[in-house]
Structure 1
Amino acid sequence: MIEAIGLTKRYGSTVAVDNLSFTVRSGRVTGFLGPNGAGKSTTMRMILGLDRPTAGSVLIDGKPYQELRHPLRTVGALLDAKWVHPNRSARNHLRWMAAASGLPAGRVDEVLDQVGLTSVANKRAGGFSLGMSQRLGIAGALLGDPKVLLFDEPVNGLDPEGILWIRRFMQDLAKQGRTVLVSSHLLSEMALTAEDLVVIGRGRLISQGSTADLIGGATQNTVLVRTPQAQHLGNALAHKGFQVESKPDGSLVVSGASSDQVGDVAASCGVVLHELSPQRGSLEEAFMQLTGDSVEYQSSEVAAR
């Protein structure tokens, strides 16, 4: 488990992280979201002891990172996929990491196999694509078989197959009881990957909870209706107090009603339905709703919405 308590980081007059508190539970993938400049990377660096908090603390399984007896056996992290000597092979890079941390050399080939790099293990890491570098970084995070894992933008540079792989990989790690915190700007992917979300803006906590609850609380569910009698049904639904929006293609979007309620009104009016489907809000919509006031740079068009 990761627990941030009143975490604050100042750089001169700039407050990067402002009294931030949240909890990342074990056995679940937690998405760490926020606009550019929200303080996500700074927070991750403080979790890992790379930056010292100005105030507050962050605990990993009840201890600050600096007090962990065997850090790499407790915490693994991928913060910068290109942090590797370009002339070292993937295998030698991991062997160096293992030797420096007192880890068995046998783990190197195990993690290379886990991330699918066995066939290129002896090639120079400097020649790797960004996607391959991401996999090598993940292998490094796994070297100590840690209980806690932090990934910063792990799907950068991956093709659709690679994105699917990392999604399932992180979910499998969580199923093993590990704590997995992942930062990403790919909101559609986070909606599929993360069970919980921590959303921050301007260094402050905006929301924390399950992905489903966050989307449900920040967006409105609607019902999409297609019928050759759209105007008749629309009038009947409006008479019942539901909000109805007519689309250019002739379909109706109904707010404030369930699909059952819309179906009942249609049946009572003798209206034939070609489609009746509930529409859930997206994580992108929820994110924009939650962080609209926390975006550092905003166009006039967006600001006017």
Structure 2
Amino acid sequence: MNRVIEVENLSKRYGDTVAVDGLSFTVRPGRVTGFLGPNGAGKSTTMRMILGLDHPSGGQVRIEGGSYRQLREPLRRVGALLEAGAVHPRRSAYAHLLWLAQSNRIPKARVRAVLALTGLDGVARKRAGGFSLGMTQRLGIAAALLGDPPVLLLDEPVNGLDPEGILWIRNLMNALAGEGRTVLVSSHLMGETALTAQHLVVIGRGRLLADTTVREFIQANSRSYVRIRTPEPELMRDALAAAGLSVKQAADGALEVDEAGPEAVGEVVAANGLTVHEVSVQSASLEEAFMRLTRDAVDYRAAGR
């Protein structure tokens, strides 16, 4: 079965504003794909076009080889979380899910199953209007999972969840991908994405910036280095340079050595009898890599103090 999402030369204009600009990428099954970009990058617009909620100005999207609108009983094929709060406030969690299930010939037993899976079975008969943000989010996730779909699109799924809930959804997404499902997750939380996703699609101003694994993305767009604090910075700098190591000075006075491990730095320190207060490896992070890659694609930037 073809569980691939194919986005091909996708574009969307609103008057003179270009929200998505010739975007192409493929989301494959068996892994969690993180969908990243600054505010206004076009992520939500792209996801809405994938689901047929917005009509493209150009290009096309295929799910299982065709458009979303061509799918029979779409909840059985694609599960989506875009607006968790899109539920009538006077309707109970059970009634909301039952209505969705009946629209796609999904058995009642599945309603009870997703309520239990999302931890909402104890409040199933309560009105959704009284739910907390986290409970509303869980209800949205339950709706996405209702048809046991092979393809999932989740926009900011950890929004409003407590730490236990974040761990739960992280494990759930990886378990679903491990079953061979296609999972596309949009998020602003770099740390959480680093723990969840195996592949990344990164866009900026509606254009594709990266389509690669998390590891390759971090390696290509950030740096790892050894940080050194010493009361003898000039002597340390000279000793490191004499050993052929490239050294920079940070804003706080610490020294930073690229392309060398702590072992090489330690040998220089020992050979020259120097005093150090810190020698630590500063590992590259997804957040740093994302900030470096998207710094020219940010539309809204806060002023520094």
TM > 0.5: yes
What corresponds to 1:244 in structure 2?
248
Which residue in 2 is equivalent to 1:20? 23
Match of 2:106, as an amino acid? L
2:192 is equivalent to residue 195 of structure 1: no
Q: Which residue of 1 aligns with 2:99?
A: 96
User: Structure 2 residue aligned with 1:171, among 150, 161, 174?
Assistant: 174
2:74 pairs with one of 60, 68, 71:
71
The answer to whether the Cα contact below 8 Å between 1:19 and 1:204 also exists between their aligned partners in 2 is yes
User: Quick one: which amino acid aligns to residue 140 of structure 1?
Assistant: A
Please give the alpha-carbon distance, in whole angstroms, between the structure 1 residues aligned to 2:269 and 2:51.
58
Amino acid at match of 1:184: S
Instruction: Return the offset for 1:135.
Output: 0.5
In 2, Cα distance between the equivalents of 1:204 and 1:5? 12
* Structure 2 unaligned residues grouped into runs of 5+: none
- Partner secondary structure for residue 86 of structure 1: coil
SS of residue matched to 1:8: strand
Matched to 2:287, the amino acid is: E
Aligned to 2:256: 253
2:73 paired with 1:51: no
What TM-score, normalized to structure 2?
A: 0.92
CA apart distance, 1:264:
3.2
- TM-score of the two chains, using structure 1 as the length reference: 0.92
Structural mapping, 1:249-288, within 5 Å: 252-271=255-274, 276-288=279-291
Q: Which residue of 2 aligns with 1:60?
A: 63
Give the structure 1 partner of residue 43 of structure 2.
40
SS of aligned partner of 2:111 = helix
Query: Partners of 1:238 and 1:89 in 2: how far apart?
Result: 69
**Could you report, residue by residue, the CA deviation over 1:49-96 in whole angstroms, capped at 9, with x for unpaired residues?**
111111111111222112223311110000001000111111111000
Q: Which segment is superposed worse, 253-262 or 155-164?
A: 253-262
The offset of 1:275, in angstroms, is 5.2
2:38–2:297 contact (8 Å) kept in structure 1? yes
| Cα deviations by residue, 1:88-111 (Å, 9 ceiling, x for unpaired) | 111111000000111111100101
For the residue of structure 2 that corresponds to 1:10, the secondary structure is strand
Q: Which amino acid letter does the alignment assign opposite residue 244 of structure 1? A: K
Distance change >3 Å, CA 77–CA 245, structure 1 → 2 = same
- Once residues 251 and 297 of structure 2 are traced to their aligned partners in structure 1, the CA distance between those partners, rounded to angstroms, is 32
Of stretches 217-226 and 197-206 in structure 1, the one that deviates more from structure 2 is 217-226
Does the 8 Å contact 1:8/1:56 carry over to 2?
yes
Partner of 2:217: 214
Do residues 128 (structure 1) and 139 (structure 2) align?
no
Residue type of the alignment partner of 1:62: G
Q: Which amino acid aligns with 1:199?
A: V
Q: What is the 5 A alignment of 1:108-119?
A: 108-119=111-122
**What displacement does 1:228 show?**
6.8
Report the CA distance between 1:169 and its aligned residue: 1.4
Q: Give the structure 2 partner of residue 233 of structure 1.
A: 236
| CA RMSD across the alignment | 2.1
The CA deviation string for residues 132-159 of structure 1, in whole angstroms up to 9 with x for no partner, is: 1110000000111011101111111112
Residue 301 of structure 1 and its aligned partner are, at CA, apart by 4.5
Q: Which amino acid aligns with 1:148?
A: V
How many Å separate the matches in 1 of 2:238 and 2:19?
A: 52
| TM superposition shift of 1:251 | 5.0
Q: How far is 1:115 from its partner? A: 0.7
Number of residue pairs matched? 301
CA distance in 1, matches of 2:106, 2:135: 23
Displacement of 1:231: 5.0
Partners of 2:149 and 2:270 lie apart in 1 by: 58
SS in 1 for 2:281: strand
